[in-house]
């Protein structure tokens, strides 16, 4: 059995681009690390994976510090976020867009840009699956990503309608378990 603990990064400082976590974001990541340690979810973590945005690695390191857990490897992989950021910005609904009550941002994206959604979902999901392929049974990776790409991966791997996957708040996420080639997904405590 292989496991991924997948979270959205914590609260960031204001501004755009590659910004660090805010002090409340650091505190939140620390509290989440304590909670995940109490649940025993970080005991076997051997690798931390984040995007090329510093806030993902920073979130993961604070979570692991709070859990008193050291890892042997830290990997920055832009594929766990996206390589097509400019297209995401163009295709996502504006703040003025009123989504139907039964539709979230991912559902909107899948409905309005089906080819983009499909290719991006496959690309990012394959990046997560490559993490599974890179380690042995019993090993666990902590992946800290972004929203809505993290939710898109969960919808894709769970073969779920994206409208059924709730938008992640900072430091929320899932545990993805692969056993005998089958994937199961649980919401983190």
> For 22-42, what is each residue's pLDDT tens digit?
999 999 999 999 999 999 999
- Specify which of 7-21, 64-78, 80-94 reaches the highest per-range mean pLDDT: 7-21
The pTM assigned to this predicted structure is 0.86
| 140-145 and 45-50 strand pairing | parallel
Beta-carbon-side half-sphere exposure of residue 170 (alpha carbons within 13 Å): 20
Q: Which two tokens stand for residue 123?
A: 């690309």
- The owner of tokens 């809505």 is 148
The string of pLDDT tens digits covering residues 86-107 is: 787 788 788 788 888 778 888 8
Task: Tell me how far the alpha carbon of residue 169 is from its chain's centroid.
Answer: 11
19 pLDDT exceeds 90?
yes
Round to whole Å and give the CA distance between 84 and 47. Answer: 25
Q: Where are the domains of the chain?
A: 2-11+21-187
Give tens-digit pLDDT for 125-142: 888 888 888 878 888 899
Task: Please give the backbone phi and psi of residue 47, each rounded to the nearest 5 degrees, phi first.
Answer: -145, 145
pLDDT at 82 over 80: no
| CATH no. of 2-11+21-187 | 3.40.50.1240
**β 173-179/182-187 pair status:** antiparallel
């Amino acid at each position: 059995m292989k496991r991924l603990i997948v979270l959205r990064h914590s609260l960031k400082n204001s501004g755009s681009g590659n910004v660090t976590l805010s002090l409340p974001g650091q505190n939140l990541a620390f509290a989440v690390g304590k909670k995940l340690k109490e649940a025993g979810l970080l005991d076997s973590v051997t690798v931390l994976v984040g995007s090329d945005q510093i806030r993902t690695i920073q979130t993961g390191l604070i979570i692991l510090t709070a859990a008193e857990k050291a890892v042997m490897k830290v990997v920055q992989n832009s594929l766990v976020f996206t390589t097509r950021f400019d297209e995401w910005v163009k295709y996502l609904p504006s703040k003025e867009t009123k989504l139907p009550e039964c539709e979230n941002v991912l559902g909107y994206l899948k409905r309005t840009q089906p080819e983009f959604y499909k290719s991006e979902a496959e690309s990012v999901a394959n990046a997560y699956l490559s993490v599974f392929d890179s380690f042995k049974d019993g090993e666990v990776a902590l992946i800290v990503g972004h929203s809505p790409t993290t939710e898109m991966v969960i919808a894709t791997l769970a073969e779920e309608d994206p409208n059924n996957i709730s938008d992640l708040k900072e430091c929320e996420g899932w545990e993805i378990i692969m056993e005998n080639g089958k994937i199961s997904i649980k919401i983190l405590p």
